[in-house]
Amino acid sequence: MLQPASLDLLIALRELLGEAHVLTSGDLSAYEQDWRKRTRGQALAVVRPSSTQQVADVVKACAQANVSIVPQGGNTGLVVGGIPDNTGAQVLLSLQRMNTIRAIDADNLALTAEAGCVLQNVQQAAEQSGFLFPLSLGAEGSCTLGGNLATNAGGTQVVRYGNARELCLGLEVVTAQGDVMHSLSGLRKDNTGYDLRHLMIGSEGTLGIITAATMKLYPMPAARLTAWAAVPSVAHAVKLLGLAHQHLGAGVTGFEMMGQFALRLVDKHYPQLRVPLWQDTPYCVLLENSDSESEAHARQRFEHLLELALEDGCVSDAVVAENLSQARNLWHIRESITLAQAEEGLNIKHDISVPISSIPRFVEETDALLTREISGVRLVNFGHLGDGNLHYNVQAPEGCDTQAFLRDHEDRVNALVYQSVKRFKGSISAEHGVGSMKVDSLPHYKDPVALALMQRIKHALDPQGLLNPGRVVR
Ligand code: FAD
Ligand code: MLT
Ligand code: ZN
């Protein structure tokens, strides 16, 4: 039975948005269940505003009724941060109808888009105007620009272009009070006090609701070449990264590492992708070289790098994609690891970073700890080596009941991995965020003064605790 206050709020929301955009029945799993299907919540209502003003009106109505709000974009987040809790008392605010590209400003190399724009559509809009919007990740067909900014998403081009934060020039944000902060100017320099944009980016919907953003564009490279290399060890992969920086300079736009078991899963679940070189090597690397001159120039530099690496022994074999379709297939293999892992069953997911120089020792020591702890454990190690960021995932031994594995081992495995991250002065969340999955671990690994400041900022900006409560900080 709904309380009278909740019924009043539903009436108010229907008046604001229309009956069709306040959903309370039917199949709401697309909004209420997380992407990995680990958690299912229940919302009082799913609301779908179509303008910044409507978002502001919804926030005001919820504030008056003291009902909390969970903002959601594409619901591809991996830390259970964008779905409602199970109380049936929260409003799930989907930004998906706010999907207009508002402007492309060629002289300022900038694009302004609404928060609900799907990332791939933003990339395509930039490309149609002759520019590159470099943010790129496996979920780009359904994640949204607002979600990317709210999580400060990384992806596969960070090594050259930075993460979502570094690509953002300005934001439009609805505050917890329902006011609109208009900061979409797109200025490249503005030192008029605290940069609130950076406070909002990565705040996972806990400080404000992003409704639009101005993002950087780049000139389209003349050529982008992709290579796939077998490397004898993680240390050799790190050495190859150093060689790539030395010989390609700013041309290094992607540097991903994939362990043999991660590739075995892709081969098992998607054999049509024909994963190259994986059977005879513990790790493969995917490298991308972008060049502003020509394809011939790019190819010559790339082949020179690979020859040096083969001579040096840090690469044992390599293929360079001959054309765009081969390059796309290599990237598709890399981006299918998450899906292949999901096909294999639930696993314990990590998204850690340590200094690049420490990655070989981190992997060696953590692998040893886990294999000693759980006999037959399978390690799915892959990620953005160019950024020192690994998705160091832990899969149950073959044939083991995954639910039982998670129940019995998840806390211990997390503690072992996070302690190892701490020893190497790393971070327990490099790109996916904290959400509700890591909120209780954070106090053990975050500087206490930094955490206390985060709590005070949350309280100052959202004293009623209306925006995504229980996520990031408690
Ligand atoms: P959601 O999942 O809807 O929300 C994520 C968080 O942001 C929630 O806390 C939500 O409340 C908040 N939020 C969403 N929209 C807004 C808004 N407009 N205003 C305020 N808060 C908001 N992530 C990476 O960083 N790098 C990767 O390489 C990567 N690869 C992925 C591959 C796959 C196959 C999948 C499934 C996920 C991947 N992710 C990756 C994680 C995820 O896609 C990103 O975190 C993405 O940025 C989330 O966008 P979204 O629109 O789906 O956000
Ligand atoms: C990736 O890099 O593919 C993602 O961050 C998704 C994942 O960790 O599974
Ligand atoms: Zn990633």
Residue-wise pLDDT for 451-473, tens only, equals 999 999 999 999 999 999 999 99
Q: What is the C-alpha separation between 467 and 376, in angstroms, rounded? A: 42
Give the pLDDT of residue 4.
Answer: 82
Ligand 2 atom showing the smallest separation from residue 138 Cα: 3
Q: What is the C-alpha separation between 183 and 267, in angstroms, rounded? A: 47
Would you place residue 1 in the very low, low, confident or very high pLDDT band (cuts 50, 70, 90)? confident
**Residue 342 Cβ contacting ligand 2 at under 6 Å:** no
Ligand 2 atom showing the smallest separation from residue 432 Cα: 5
Q: What is the DSSP secondary structure assignment for residue 293, as one 8-state letter?
A: S
Which of 321, 228, 329, 245 has the alpha carbon at shortest distance from 283? 228
What ligand has the least distance to the C-alpha of 146?
Answer: 1
Return the domain boundaries, the chain. Answer: 4-94, 101-219, 223-338, 345-423
CATH fold, domain 345-423, is Alpha-Beta Plaits (3.30.70)
Ligand 1 atom showing the smallest separation from residue 81 Cα: 9
Would you place residue 12 in the very low, low, confident or very high pLDDT band (cuts 50, 70, 90)? very high
Ligand 1 is surrounded, with C-beta below 6 A, by 35, 70-78, 81-82, 95, 115, 137-139, 143-144, 146-148, 150-151, 153-155, 204-205, 209-210, 338, 431-432, 435, 468, 471
Which of 42, 44, 51, 43 has the alpha carbon at shortest distance from 16? 51
How many A from CA of 338 to the centre of ligand 2? 6
Q: What is the C-alpha separation between 74 and 79, in angstroms, rounded? A: 14
Q: What is the C-alpha separation between 415 and 428, in angstroms, rounded? A: 10
Q: Give the closest residue (by CA) to ligand 1 atom 47.
A: 148
How many A from CA of 52 to the centre of ligand 3? 30
SS3 230: strand
How many A from CA of 383 to the centre of ligand 2? 7
* Pair 211, 286: CB distance under 8 Å: no
Would you place residue 106 in the very low, low, confident or very high pLDDT band (cuts 50, 70, 90)? very high
**Residue 338 Cβ contacting ligand 2 at under 6 Å:** yes
What ligand has the least distance to the C-alpha of 36?
Answer: 1
Q: Are strands 110-114 and 209-216 parallel, antiparallel or unpaired?
A: antiparallel
Any idea which residue has 């790019």 for tokens? 298
Q: Is the pLDDT of residue 11 over 80?
A: yes
Any idea which residue has 């050799």 for tokens? 236
Residue 235: partners with Cβ closer than 8 Å, 6 or more residues away: 360
DSSP string spanning 455-473?
HHHHHHH-TT--BSTTSS-
Ligand 1 atom showing the smallest separation from residue 144 Cα: 51
Which of 349, 405, 403, 344 has the alpha carbon at shortest distance from 373? 405
List, for residues 420-459, the tens digit of each pLDDT value: 999 999 999 999 999 999 999 999 999 999 999 999 999 9
Q: Give the closest residue (by CA) to ligand 2 atom 8.
A: 391
Any idea which residue has 């949350």 for tokens? 458
Q: Answer whether 4-94 and 345-423 agree in fold.
A: no
* Pair 200, 206: CB distance under 8 Å: no
* Residue 53: CA count within 13 A, CB half-sphere: 2
Residue 71: partners with Cβ closer than 8 Å, 6 or more residues away: 82, 93, 95, 146, 150, 205, 209, 210, 467, 468
Would you place residue 192 in the very low, low, confident or very high pLDDT band (cuts 50, 70, 90)? very high
What percent of the chain stands above pLDDT 90? 98
What percent of the chain stands above pLDDT 70? 100
Give the pLDDT of residue 95.
Answer: 98
How many A from CA of 119 to the centre of ligand 3? 15
Q: What is the C-alpha separation between 254 and 308, in angstroms, rounded? A: 19
User: Residues 303-326: what's their mean pLDDT?
Assistant: 96
Q: 171 pairs with which residues across the strands?
A: 183, 213
Q: What is the C-alpha separation between 89 and 24, in angstroms, rounded? A: 12
186-190: list long-range contacts, CB under 8 Å, 24+ apart. 186/105, 186/108, 186/110, 186/112, 186/214
The structure's pTM equals: 0.98
Backbone angles phi, psi at 452, to 5 degrees: -65, -40
Q: Are strands 43-47 and 90-94 parallel, antiparallel or unpaired?
A: parallel
Helix (H) or strand (E) holding 393: strand 389-395
Question: For residue 385, what are the CA distances in angstroms to 2, 108, 167, 237, 247?
Answer: 50, 32, 20, 8, 17
Ligand 2 atom showing the smallest separation from residue 384 Cα: 2
What ligand has the least distance to the C-alpha of 174?
Answer: 1
**Residue 162 Cβ contacting ligand 2 at under 6 Å:** no
The type of residue at 165 is: R
Q: Mention the CATH class of domain 4-94.
A: alpha beta
Q: What is the C-alpha separation between 214 and 168, in angstroms, rounded? A: 6
Q: Is the pLDDT of residue 281 over 90?
A: yes
**Residue 334 Cβ contacting ligand 2 at under 6 Å:** no
Q: Is the pLDDT of residue 3 over 90?
A: no
How many A from CA of 416 to the centre of ligand 3? 21
Give the pLDDT of residue 5.
Answer: 81
Give the pLDDT of residue 78.
Answer: 97
Mean pLDDT, the chain, integer: 97
Q: Give the closest residue (by CA) to ligand 1 atom 28.
A: 155
List, for residues 399-427, the tens digit of each pLDDT value: 999 999 999 999 999 999 999 999 999 99
Given the candidates 3.40.50.300, 3.40.1000.10, 3.30.300.30, 3.30.465.10, the CATH classification of the domain at 101-219 is 3.30.465.10
How many A from CA of 339 to the centre of ligand 3? 13
Q: What is the C-alpha separation between 351 and 81, in angstroms, rounded? A: 15
CATH fold, domain 223-338, is Alpha-Beta Plaits (3.30.70)
Q: Give the closest residue (by CA) to ligand 2 atom 6.
A: 338
Q: What is the C-alpha separation between 442 and 450, in angstroms, rounded? A: 11
List, for residues 53-102, the tens digit of each pLDDT value: 999 999 999 999 999 999 999 999 999 999 999 999 999 999 999 999 99
The tokens for 248 are: 């390609």
Q: Work out the end-to-end distance of the chain between its first and last CA atoms, rounded to an integer number of angstroms.
A: 29
* Pair 154, 389: CB distance under 8 Å: yes
What ligand has the least distance to the C-alpha of 334?
Answer: 2
Would you place residue 34 in the very low, low, confident or very high pLDDT band (cuts 50, 70, 90)? very high
Would you place residue 393 in the very low, low, confident or very high pLDDT band (cuts 50, 70, 90)? very high
Give the pLDDT of residue 2.
Answer: 81
Q: Is the pLDDT of residue 315 over 90?
A: yes
The type of residue at 467 is: L
The tokens for 451 are: 């955490």
